[in-house]
Amino acid sequence: MKIKGNTFIVTGGGSGLGLSAAQELLRLGANVVVIDLKNDGKSFFKGQEKNVLFVTADITSEKEIVKAIQQTIEKFGENIRGVVNCGGVMVIGKIVGSDGKPLDLDTFKFGINVNLIGTFNVCRLVAAQMIKQKPLEEGERGVMVNISSIAYQDGQAGQISYAASKGGVASMTLPMTRDLAKFGIRVVAIAPGIFGTPMSLTVKSERVRQKLLSQIEYPARLGKSDGEFNKLVAHLIENTYMNGVVVRIDAGAKLGKL
């Protein structure tokens, strides 16, 4: 699929990995719709209003995402060819804490609701629009790029909600691929390792940070959202033969106990 001239939705596009993906798609000539819960990231797209639509919306809300899709069509036409689902939260908490108390159920549900249900909500609503659109070369109508995490396989202590939610995102990939194949819609997932984003900076302990870095093979550093993550997003969109797969981008990291 060609990126230039097509329209892509990026959730969580106001910061971190989502911002990097949105900026890369813009650089490659796409129209980009940035959906974020906060409008702080809007300033990053100043002067690019012709090719950018910034929408403040909650990815878990059907009403708000339907409205965002309608706004997309009004600005760029029925030309939505992809969605990059970067919207998510990091929820920290062990199933039973050091004080002997179980993890608050609402805390666990929050991570699942945003990371898993929010991703599914956006996919289902965007897919319903994509199938109405005219197919491109080889009958392709669109592509879903969902962001999981290596935590879905290498979950750390205290990441039970996060790992479960990202595991759900990874596990949806193949059945979603099979559901949408007949419409010419591809589905892929990216499982990033430890990247230098605002989310990773929530790890305040220097001991924990150094332990995490020690489990990365080569290069033993934080991943770069610009030049590494965003380039992978673009490749997965452009390479029509990439479908139904979860791609780890982690410099060979296999996270163990902290």
- pLDDT tens digits in sequence order for the chain, 258 residues long: 999 999 999 999 999 999 999 999 999 999 999 999 998 899 999 999 999 999 999 999 999 999 999 999 999 999 999 999 999 999 999 999 999 999 999 999 999 999 999 999 999 999 999 999 999 999 999 999 999 999 999 998 999 999 999 999 999 999 999 999 999 999 999 999 999 876 666 665 777 778 888 889 999 999 999 999 999 999 999 999 999 999 999 999 988 776
Question: Quick one: pLDDT at residue 207?
Answer: 76
* Strands (DSSP E) found in 12-90: 31-36, 52-56, 80-85
Domains of the chain: 7-194+226-249 (3.40.50.720)
Q: CA–CA separation, 191 vs 69, rounded Å?
A: 26
Among 226, 208, 254, 237, CA closest to 5: 237
Question: Quick one: pLDDT at residue 218?
Answer: 95
- Of 152, 162, 218, 241, the catalytic one is 162
Q: CA–CA separation, 193 vs 255, rounded Å?
A: 9
Q: CA–CA separation, 145 vs 12, rounded Å?
A: 13
| Tokens, residue 196 | 């230098």
Give the 3-state secondary structure of residue 176: helix
Element housing 78 (H / E):
none
| Tokens, residue 167 | 């595991």
Question: Quick one: pLDDT at residue 199?
Answer: 64
Could you tell me the pTM of the whole model? 0.94
Residue 162: active-site member? yes
Helix axes 230-238, 16-27, angle to 10 degrees: 50
Element housing 191 (H / E):
strand 185-192
Burial of 178 (0-12, 13-18, 19+ CB in 10 A): exposed
Q: Could you give the dihedral angle defined by the CA atoms of residues 176, 178, 182 and 185, in that order, rounded to the nearest 10 degrees? A: 40
Query: CA Rg, the chain, in Å?
Result: 18
Q: What is the DSSP letter of 159?
A: B
List CB contacts of 241: < 8 A, sequence separation 6 or more. Answer: none
Q: What is the DSSP letter of 97?
A: -
